[in-house]
Amino acid sequence: MAKKKQVCRNCRRFTTEKVCPVCKSTNLSTSWKGLAIVIDTNSEIAKLLNILEPGSYALYVG
Ligand SMILES: [Zn+2]
């Protein structure tokens, strides 16, 4: 069985570690919906999601 990806509840960044690489939060969730890959932090989607670092983010975290 594939291990489900975890998402930081604080900034919605995907992580494979037990800690978020962006905000160092350990408040992670496996209940998430949607995926946004942000390359340009000046893009509309990055502004909408309040993303300051490029990477993979969930649109919704439960
Ligand atoms: Zn985070």
- Cβ–Cβ under 8 Å, residues 4 and 32: no
Q: Kindly tell me if the per-residue pLDDT of 27 is higher than 70.
A: yes
Give 1 Cα–ligand 1 centroid separation in angstroms.
26
Q: Kindly tell me if the per-residue pLDDT of 1 is higher than 90.
A: no
Q: What is the pTM of this model?
A: 0.83
Give 34 Cα–ligand 1 centroid separation in angstroms.
16
What's the fold here for domain 6-61?
Rubrerythrin, domain 2 (2.20.28)
Give 38 Cα–ligand 1 centroid separation in angstroms.
14
The per-residue DSSP string of 20-56 comes to -TTT----EES-EE--EEES-TTSHHHHHHT--S-EE
Other residues' Cβ atoms within 10 Å of the Cβ of residue 5: 14
Give 23 Cα–ligand 1 centroid separation in angstroms.
4
